[in-house]
Structure 1
Amino acid sequence: MAIRHVEPYSDEWLRQPVSYVQQVVEQLAGQVADWWEGPCDPRDATVLLSDGNALVWDEESGWRLGLLVSGVRGEHVELSDARYLNGGLLPKPERVPDLLTDARAGIGASSAWRPCYRSHRNCRDGFDVALDFYIGLVDA
């Protein structure tokens, strides 16, 4: 398989996380009320859950769960009582429901500790290759 390099800040680059997030939303099934992709710097996505909480993913810290304070499509959201899910920056979509269950139970990082797995400014660190894997799954 050839490695593709997507030009940073191109439309394709901005939408790269969408396929990954779509697969997570599918795994969460009936728990999702709505979801949308966010802006960049860092790229993120918000999943509104049917219980009133929000699950937010960004390309630096992975997934976090909390109560939506503010934010709409196209804006970074603000959460209160955020808890970061274990599992790293890009856990397999099928693992996210269990990670969410753990976060709801208080298992995972506290709101005072924000993991930073990478910087969104490092556009050539291989992260986009990992995101491309999920694009290939959706396009197949």
Structure 2
Amino acid sequence: MIGHIRPLPHPDPFVEATRGYITRVGDALQAGGVPLSEVWLDPCNPRDATFVLGLQALVWNESEGFVLGEFVSGEPGVRTVLRDPVRLGDGVLPDPRTVPALMTAGAEGSLTRPRPFTAGHDGFEDALGRYSAS
């Protein structure tokens, strides 16, 4: 998909493991007409990523899933700050193709309890690995 905005590779292999999933979410947002201007992978504990959407940003982390709010600040390697954040539903690793609809549904989606990012062998890494970057 030429012209699509995608996250750059990350030097930390643990963070890099999220790039395939984040790339697919970004592709789905752009295919759905969402105005994506930047996307980056952020620090660990928990691992997260930011999608800048004009005045808003969508932030994903491995503990809470997706949160949408007004973009206040953030950059690669620095935690993103949102104003009036709303946690979206469908767990911590929803199908990337469903994320644009989750943004429309907002908090009305199926909220789940946060996943401890230190959960260990809970199947998350295997599920994340299905989206590995090529």
Q: What range describes the TM-score normalised by the shorter chain of this pair?
A: 0.7 to 0.9
| CA displacement at 1:95 relative to structure 2 | 0.3
SS at match of 1:102: helix
Pick the aligned partner of 1:89 from 88, 92, 114.
92
Q: Which residue of 2 aligns with 1:33?
A: 37
CA contact (8 A) 2:25 2:97 kept: yes
Task: State the superposition RMSD in angstroms.
Answer: 2.0
| CA displacement at 1:116 relative to structure 2 | 4.2
CA distance, structure 1, for counterparts of residue 14 and residue 21 of structure 2: 13
With normalisation by structure 1, the TM-score equals: 0.78
Q: Which residue of 1 aligns with 2:20?
A: 19
Structure showing greater Rg: 1
| CA displacement at 1:38 relative to structure 2 | 0.3
CA distance, structure 2, for counterparts of residue 92 and residue 76 of structure 1: 24
Mapping 1:1-140, distance limit 5 Å: 11-29=12-30, 30=33, 31-50=35-54, 52-103=55-106, 107-108=108-109, 116-135=113-132, 138-139=133-134
- Residues 9-35 of structure 1, C-alpha deviations (whole Å, 9 max, x = no match): x93222111110110100111421111
- Residues 56-115 of structure 1, C-alpha deviations (whole Å, 9 max, x = no match): 000000001001122211011111110111111111010001111112xx6348xxxx96
CA distance, structure 1, for counterparts of residue 88 and residue 59 of structure 2: 10
- Cα gap change, 1:61 to 1:33, in 2 (>3 Å): same
The letter for the 1-side match of 2:129 is: D
CA distance, structure 2, for counterparts of residue 40 and residue 101 of structure 1: 28
The letter for the 2-side match of 1:96 is: V
CA contact (8 A) 1:83 1:108 kept: no
CA distance, structure 1, for counterparts of residue 42 and residue 13 of structure 2: 14
SS at match of 2:58: strand
With normalisation by structure 2, the TM-score equals: 0.81
Structure 2: gaps spanning 5 or more residues: 1-10
Higher helix proportion: 1
Taking every aligned residue pair, what percent have the same amino acid on both sides?
Answer: 37
CA contact (8 A) 2:67 2:85 kept: yes
